[in-house]
Structure 1
Amino acid sequence: MAKYFDVHPENPQRRTITTVADSIRSGALVAYRRTPATRWAASWATATASPAFRSIRNLDDRHHFTLVCQTFAQLGEFVHIDNDVFRAIKAATPGSYTFILPATKEVPRQLLHPKKKTVGVRIPDHVVTQALLAELGEPLLSSTLLLPGEDAPMTQGWEIKERLDHVVDSVLDSGDCGTEPTTVIDFSGGDIEIVRRGAGDTTRFE
């Protein structure tokens, strides 16, 4: 049975954040509500996390997982960034963007695109997510909480708890988060490719 945590969206309770972070370190799968859209999260270093995500969402091995990082310095440990890309990403973070980039050797093989050897990375501007990342001291492996056959992720904490009680270990609810996903920008092919238009403004990348 999943534990349910209700936290303040601007001043999240430290004890709750610590409890959830400890559970993630121990291998827990957490559903968390943040802007934009609801997501799953787990420890990026947990070998069982990516198969669980694939199974729940019915994903193939070409799906790009996302490492949610607290800072730009942390992000730089996991992806290769040249000077031009550095400036473009720096100007857009933190924010509602996911960037696809060539991964460093720090990223486990099971999280990489099998042919491109790339991974998604992002730096959120959501207070609760930032608090969780600060407590963890490492990135979160994350994916939009979009179930097979559905057009949008669930947005209500009680619904997530009710429907996924047997799937997730915890639900971290910080209020309304909307349904629009992040904007996804692919820098891995040399040219900038807008893979998905979402909450982040794409003007600067066009």
Structure 2
Amino acid sequence: MLYLVYHAAVFSLPIENSLTLILDVHPQTPQARLLRQAAEQARAGGLLVYPTDTCYALGCCMSAKAAQERLRQIRQLDVHHDLSLLFSSISQLTEYAKLDDRNFAILKRVLPGPFTFILPATHDVPRRLADPRRRSIGVRVPDAPVVQGLLGELGEPLMSSTLQLPGDSLPLHEVHEITDRIGNRVDVLLRAEDGKTQCSTVIDLSEWPPRLLRRGLGDPDSLGIELADTGNPIAEEV
């Protein structure tokens, strides 16, 4: 059974192999009531699909181990593949990632925005969530009202991954395609408008000089620093 939420009305429709909950939210001024519904599902261990400032993403709370496993199954990622953390602000980010003055200035210049930064993890990050070799994590502060509103309702970061399925050259970005291809394997779809097909730009700041791991929607030149371009294939699926 699927509950489709359209603005102020709730409709109950029997739809086979579908998402459990579709919430139509305004892309610029998302309804607080709908964001609270999504946050409640996340706190209960749910797996969510939501728009960001780049493309649609899959995410869940850090404590939701079962949802993280479902996310990895959908993406076909092994346990060694790192996921990103989405934050509402740089201030919240500093609880989980170590920032020196130099890196703080870089983040301040472009965030919120379409960048993922690899940074050393603090002790508040569970070992299972950080790169075991370097104790680093990928962090994002997206510039998108829907996911920012969701993060505000949650009061904690989201574990997140691009909604790009194995074998696809681009992320899923149309709602009907998301529904058809992952069906009832997710709990909530926050639907605002068609998503972009470009991912975030990934920058490794865990060592100096910084490295460009993936070119995406964010302009590397806006960082104001010189980058080594590694073309790391691991970053293709962050």
Task: Report the TM-score range of the alignment, normalised by the length of the smaller protein.
Answer: over 0.9
Q: TM-score, normalised by structure 2?
A: 0.83
1:115 matched residue in structure 2:
133
Q: How far 1:33 sits from its partner (Å)? A: 2.1
Structure 1: gaps of 5 or more residues? none
Aligned to 2:23: 5
SS at match of 2:119: strand
Q: Distance in 1 between matches of 2:148 and 2:176?
A: 23
Asked if structure 2 preserves the Cα contact closer than 8 Å seen for 1:50 and 1:110, the reply is: no
**How far off is 1:92 after superposition?**
1.1
Instruction: Give the match for residue 166 of structure 2.
Output: 148
Q: Which has the larger radius of gyration?
A: 2
Deviates more, 1:159-168 or 1:6-15: 159-168
CA contact (8 A) 2:23 2:190 kept: yes
Q: 4+ residue stretches of structure 1 with deviation over 3 A?
A: none
* Counterpart position of 2:68: 50
Please report how far the alpha carbon of residue 160 of structure 1 lies from its aligned counterpart in structure 2 after TM superposition: 1.0
Match of residue 97, structure 1, among 68, 90, 115: 115
Task: Give the gaps of 5 or more residues in structure 2.
Answer: 1-18, 227-238
Deviation at 1:114, TM superposition (A): 2.1
Q: Identity percentage over the alignment? A: 40
Q: Secondary structure of the residue that 1:188 maps to in structure 2?
A: coil
Number of aligned positions between the proteins: 206
Question: In the alignment, which of 129, 133, 150 is matched to residue 132 of structure 1?
Answer: 150
| Aligned mate of 1:193, from 211, 214, 231 | 211
- With normalisation by structure 1, the TM-score equals 0.95
Q: CA deviation at 1:35?
A: 2.2
- Residue 5 of structure 1, CA deviation: 1.1
Q: CA RMSD in A?
A: 1.3
